Amino acid sequence: MKRRLSGLFVLIILAQTLGTRGFPDSLNIGLAEPITNLQSWVRKNRNDHWMFEFILNPFISVVNFGLDSVESVFTWLPWFVPAIIVFAVVARTRRWGVATFAALAVVYPGLVGVWSESIVTISLMAVAVFICVLIGVPLGVLAALKPRVEVALRPILDGMQTVPATVYLIPIVLFFGIGPAPAAIATVIYALPPMVRLTALGIQQVPKSAVEAAQMFGATKRQILAKVQLPLAVPSIITGINQTVMMALGIVVIATLVGAGGLGQEINQTVRRLEPGRGLVVSLAVVAVALVLDRVSMSLVSTPGAQRVRVKRNTLYMSLIGLALAAVVGRLLGWVEFPFSWGTSFADPIDTGFKWFRTTFNVITRPFNDFIVREILVRAQTLFNETITWQAVVAAAAAFAFYVAGWKMSLFTACGVTFIGLTGRWLDAVDTLTQTIVAVFISILIALPIGIWLGRRPRIEAIIAPVLDAFQTIPSLVYAIPFVMIFSVGPVPGIVAAVVYAIPPGIRLTSLGIRQVNNESVEAAITFGATQRQILWGVRIKLAMPSIILAINQMVMMVLAMAIISGMVGGGGLGYRSIEALTGPDSGLGVEVGLAIVIMATILDRLLQATARRMQAPVAV
């Protein structure tokens, strides 16, 4: 091993002395060209080719019809009807506080004056999630029952989650055009994986003994599926729906790039107009929608035998009729829109606050901004573009991969890194990579100490955990808004937003790792007279190391996911290119960027996972 490593080291030196600085344009393999040709073909034939005329366009019409129907129902309903329904559904689990809270969350968008935007977003969610269930559940069942389907699906599902949303929006715009329906389709693609995964998981987790018992009673495969496997998978399937909803809400902002409208568009505009207050208020509406859908779907999962409010059938009919009457009366009296809006009264003080913050702390933020840009980002870029040869970068990456994961991973890494260069996106990739490294580095400095500290204070963590989890439902663009205000447009707000975005899961995973350290090992250390310090560094952190590496890995993935948002606020790099490709639309560029990001994410992910595995104590075979 040592000999080989030193061999690789020599290789790096050699590559550095003999190689070329930067990545030469002459090596571009011209990936974009055929795709650009396809794009012009599609443009020309969009109106008369049979594929559009008889398949894609009718499909769009169906989706549009669904969107319109849901939207008109919600628009027709007086505002208090959904609130009552949500309250009733959640209250069946006897958790009155939660039910009240959920009902208030329904009212919130009206309260801040984005009721109609919320309806647009909710309709899009409803249709997208419905399609997800329609496709995802059968696929999940197939994947669970047929190993071959699973093997085929897994890489696709993994890929769907790493490809930045802007990238696969491109083919959607290309084939479906722009508007709410393409946005819904994009949302389906983005939000489908958890539906499939959790359905498959639910079916696979059905106790084998239950399936065998059913077999032993002579049940047919179909009977087993319908009466045993599916019912037992329901909680998992509902969790899948729940996750799908969360994912779908996660791209409301990005979906506006293809014409989704609704809350996403509002948020997008507040960024442009630099109104963090309004941005926050509207974002909270997205959070409210997420919260309502989450509570409602979770209240539908029943643990067998759980206490529920029992409603007699007659009472149920009576209340439904009552509700319908209330709706009609509300309609007649014109109580449709929420009667007043407090939106500006929340938003304005926040805006003023940020303005004050900006001018007051300019002495700190300005130098910070300049330091990061000039001393780190620019330097790193010159280093990669003018000092280190690309061959040396490839060799170094391959050497690290070899060290943590063996020669196969090493080969994959070398090919992947080279390929990014061959697509012609070397510079952008370097840009994104340096920003990612800076953001991850800062995140580590903040998240790990807090996580380690929290890991031994379960009580405090129990209080903080829900707050941290709530952070993850906020659309990622929202994180960027205040920082754009503070730092003005450029890479820094993107980096800081990415840090804020990545920290919560980093803290959670680290503290989880610390908490899961075997108590007996700690006690053993104590009986040997180890000091607190020795226990922390020698036992707790050591044993939690695999989890900590996974926490870092998670943060890397979150930061990368922010690359696009970062591009939206002036961060440059691959994120910016992906938006450029989408608004062009320039499909060729889109494919290049997409491949570059996916390759980068895959390599980083695999390498970090391998590092975590290396640190795991060897298991007896």
- What are 22's strand-pairing partners? 389
Burial 432-470 (b: 16+ CB within 10 A, else e): bbbbbebbbebbbeebbeebbebbeeeeebeebbeebee
Task: Report the C-alpha gap between 392 and 271 in whole angstroms.
Answer: 40
Query: Per rule CB under 8 A, is residue 219 in the interface with other proteins?
Result: yes
The answer to whether 292 and 86 are in contact (CB under 8 A) is yes
Stretch that binds other proteins, among 214-222, 408-416, 445-453, 567-575 (CB under 8 A): 214-222
Query: Per rule CB under 8 A, is residue 305 in the interface with other proteins?
Result: yes
Stretch that binds other proteins, among 83-91, 130-138, 212-220, 559-567 (CB under 8 A): 212-220
Task: Report the C-alpha gap between 70 and 156 in whole angstroms.
Answer: 31
The one among 33, 212, 370, 469 contacting other proteins by CB under 8 A? 212
Query: Per rule CB under 8 A, is residue 215 in the interface with other proteins?
Result: yes
Minimum CB distance to other proteins, residue 218 (Å): 4
Handedness of CA 374, 377, 383, 389 (dihedral sign): negative
Query: Per rule CB under 8 A, is residue 217 in the interface with other proteins?
Result: yes
Minimum CB distance to other proteins, residue 240 (Å): 17
Query: Per rule CB under 8 A, is residue 232 in the interface with other proteins?
Result: yes
Minimum CB distance to other proteins, residue 298 (Å): 18
Site for other proteins in 26-45 (CB under 8 A): none
Query: Per rule CB under 8 A, is residue 379 in the interface with other proteins?
Result: no
Query: Per rule CB under 8 A, is residue 620 in the interface with other proteins?
Result: no
The one among 132, 143, 228, 582 contacting other proteins by CB under 8 A? 228
Minimum CB distance to other proteins, residue 222 (Å): 11
Q: Is 456 helix (H, G, I), strand (E, B) or coil?
A: coil
The one among 51, 152, 210, 445 contacting other proteins by CB under 8 A? 210
Stretch that binds other proteins, among 114-122, 230-238, 376-384, 433-441 (CB under 8 A): 230-238
Using a 10 angstrom Cβ sphere, with 0-12 exposed, 13-18 middle and 19 or more buried, the burial of residue 16 is middle
Handedness of CA 577, 583, 588, 591 (dihedral sign): positive
Minimum CB distance to other proteins, residue 88 (Å): 24
Q: Is the Cβ of residue 2 or residue 208 nearer to other proteins in the bound state?
A: 208
The answer to whether 240 and 202 are in contact (CB under 8 A) is yes
Minimum CB distance to other proteins, residue 146 (Å): 18
The answer to whether 488 and 470 are in contact (CB under 8 A) is no
Query: Per rule CB under 8 A, is residue 618 in the interface with other proteins?
Result: no
Query: Per rule CB under 8 A, is residue 227 in the interface with other proteins?
Result: yes
Stretch that binds other proteins, among 62-70, 231-239, 368-376, 539-547 (CB under 8 A): 231-239
Is the preceding omega at residue 585 within 30 degrees of 0, hence cis?
Answer: yes
Minimum CB distance to other proteins, residue 245 (Å): 24
The one among 1, 147, 216, 463 contacting other proteins by CB under 8 A? 216
By CB under 8 A, the count of residues binding other proteins is 20
Stretch that binds other proteins, among 80-88, 134-142, 172-180, 227-235 (CB under 8 A): 227-235
Q: Is 571 helix (H, G, I), strand (E, B) or coil?
A: coil
Q: Is the Cβ of residue 224 or residue 439 nearer to other proteins in the bound state?
A: 224
Q: Is the Cβ of residue 156 or residue 210 nearer to other proteins in the bound state?
A: 210
The answer to whether 361 and 482 are in contact (CB under 8 A) is no
Closest CA to 338 of 67, 123, 81: 81
Handedness of CA 257, 284, 276, 484 (dihedral sign): negative
Cα dihedral 433, 436, 437, 442 in deg (nearest 10) = 170
Q: Is the Cβ of residue 219 or residue 598 nearer to other proteins in the bound state?
A: 219
The Cα angle at residue 461 between residues 456 and 465, in degrees rounded to 5: 145
Q: Is the Cβ of residue 134 or residue 226 nearer to other proteins in the bound state?
A: 226
Q: Is the Cβ of residue 213 or residue 445 nearer to other proteins in the bound state?
A: 213
The answer to whether 68 and 180 are in contact (CB under 8 A) is no
Using a 10 angstrom Cβ sphere, with 0-12 exposed, 13-18 middle and 19 or more buried, the burial of residue 508 is buried
Minimum CB distance to other proteins, residue 211 (Å): 9
The one among 1, 2, 148, 209 contacting other proteins by CB under 8 A? 209
- What are 389's strand-pairing partners? 21, 22
Task: Report the C-alpha gap between 447 and 160 in whole angstroms.
Answer: 28
State the number of CA atoms in the 13 A half-sphere of 381 facing the CB.
16
Minimum CB distance to other proteins, residue 302 (Å): 9
Contacts with other proteins, residue ranges (CB under 8 A): 207, 209-210, 212-220, 223, 227-228, 231-232, 234, 304-305
